[in-house]
A and B are shown apart, each in its own frame.
Chain A
Amino acid sequence: MTTEQYNTCVEWYSDGVYRFILKNIKDENKAKDIVQDSFEKLWIQASKILFEKSKSYLFSTAYHTMIDLIRKEKKISEVENKPELSYTNAYTGINEILNEALQKLPDIQRSVILLRDYEGYTYNEIAEITDLSESQVKVYIYRGRMALKKYIGSIEAII
């Protein structure tokens, strides 16, 4: 990858990576740090990484850095032990409800759904980024969608 291609990556993908991380951890400073760290790693490895693979590399690096951070802060939660979605806040729009529902999802489900929705990654690409199998990605997306739909449906029923 050339310097020009690297800079193109900055222009094209930094916003996407930032949004993806920010949506997951809800902390602007940490999200910035993760993005900078990911691009620094890309720059170091620039001579070895093809431009075509750079987006996947960036998201994968950012994702794993984020997971490490979450683990450090002991915020990671087991999928099975995740409590039932609850709804107590007052909402003004579907996006707020959806954001609230997303935050209540297990980290892995939230990540795969965001990768799918924000970046339009295929199951296989998400599997590569997250180090999961394609089947696991499908299952997590299915469970995540079901949980989101249940949450949104319940809120709408109340409203």
Chain B
Amino acid sequence: MLNINKLNYEIYFIDYIDGTLDSEQEKELFLFLEKHPELQSEFDSLKNIPLETKKIIFCDKENLLKNNLANNNSESNFSDLCIARIEGDMPEKEIEEFDKLVNESGKNKNEYQLFLKTINKANTNISFPDKNKLLKSGKVEHSKIRYLYRYSSIAASIILLVSFWFLLPENTDNNFAETKMQNTGSIQVKENKTIQKDTKNKKKSITKKNNYKNINNINTNNKKVLHKEKLKIIKPNIRIQINEPIIIAKAKKIKIENTYNSDIAELRDVNLNSSFKNDATTKKQSDFKNHSIIGYLSKTAAKKIRNKTNVNKIKSLQLWDIADTGIKVINSITGSNIKFEQKQDKKGKTKAIHLETKYFALNTPIKN
């Protein structure tokens, strides 16, 4: 502590009263007071202030105690105890004490009796009348409808997936695809190619030779003819012929008849690339803009799947096309024999649809 002076003497005074000054500091303090008698009265006034502590007691301490039920005899506390007693929440130690408390006064007894009356007793005469209707005799199993939904959704997914696979246009220069087919070993592709050129308002169809190519021998040129067959009028045509059920694991032989269509390749370019490089594709660009992607897919699918020869007459993709193709593929993959037939009248309008599986058959009339 600094030496006492006129600036810090108050600290010395307070410390002296608190008794925190040592003997030397006290001597220093009194020497300072002798030198400055004008501060003696201030010092004396501080000395006379009593600093005794009073004993402050919390009066309601007993009410906070939990180990004595007799002390909890206020009205609200007694109600709490009654509820705790009838609800079985009261510790066993307190039950005896509570019972004594109840019997101490008539008021408590009546109060407790009222709480006892709030307990509901089930009327066992009331019973559920239709119990027999609830009883079951079958085995616990998943709902057949749920299975049907599950399998239907899986089948629908496969159908859509496979359908879109066939909807995708082929790339004539796609060596990768050919290589993939080569790997299957014995796939034969029947290729028809039609190129239509529109020059000076004259439509000229150039028909190329109908070639059968052995995929094993296809090179990147893709135009090499290995086995010549009869010349045919070229039609946009794709047919999938499966000689025997495909078992993927065993990689059995598949025959595929394919039709090249330059329109498809060009349109795919339109689809994949937003820019167009030549006049032909510019025309397709305008076509593409005028038709939605669904329209394009419908047109392509109709050409490929339904063997439509006249593209211009093709209107749209029918749900039938997707379902029919999907069923065929499922049959080929799984080896099952699901029949999905479309019955038509003389005018060619669909009258009914017949679905027949191993487990069930469905025949639904269709209104056109």
Whether A149 pairs with B136 at a CB distance below 8 angstroms is no
Q: How many A-B residue pairs have CB under 8 A?
A: 92
Q: Which among B28-36, B116-124, B169-177, B188-196 touches the partner chain?
A: B116-124
The A interface, classified by DSSP as helix, strand, loop or mixed, is helix
Most A C-beta atoms less than 10 A away, residue of B87, B118, B126, B127: B118
Interface string of B111-152 (1 = CB under 8 A from A): 000110111111110111111011111111111000000000
Whether B114 pairs with A149 at a CB distance below 8 angstroms is yes
Complex Cα spacing A36 to B135, Å: 11
Whether A11 pairs with B131 at a CB distance below 8 angstroms is yes
Interface string of A1-22 (1 = CB under 8 A from B): 1110011001100111111001
Whether A141 pairs with B87 at a CB distance below 8 angstroms is yes
Report how many residues on chain B are interfacial, defined by Cβ distance under 8 Å. Answer: 32
Whether A3 pairs with B115 at a CB distance below 8 angstroms is no
Q: Which among A64-72, A73-81, A84-92, A113-121 touches the partner chain?
A: A113-121
Whether B128 pairs with A17 at a CB distance below 8 angstroms is yes
Q: Is A57 an interface position by the 8 A CB rule?
A: no
Report how many residues on chain A are interfacial, defined by Cβ distance under 8 Å. Answer: 43
Q: Using A2-B140, A46-B140, A142-B83 as known contacts, say yes or no to A149 and B118 having CB atoms under 8 A apart.
A: yes
Which residue of B is nearest A156, CB measured? Answer: B114
Whether A3 pairs with B133 at a CB distance below 8 angstroms is no
Whether A39 pairs with B129 at a CB distance below 8 angstroms is no
Q: Using A6-B136, A153-B114 as known contacts, say yes or no to A47 and B128 having CB atoms under 8 A apart.
A: no
Q: Is B79 an interface position by the 8 A CB rule?
A: yes
Of A10, A47, A114, which is within 8 A of B142 by CB? A47
> B interface vs A, CB < 8 Å?
79-80, 83, 86-87, 114-115, 117-124, 126-131, 133-143
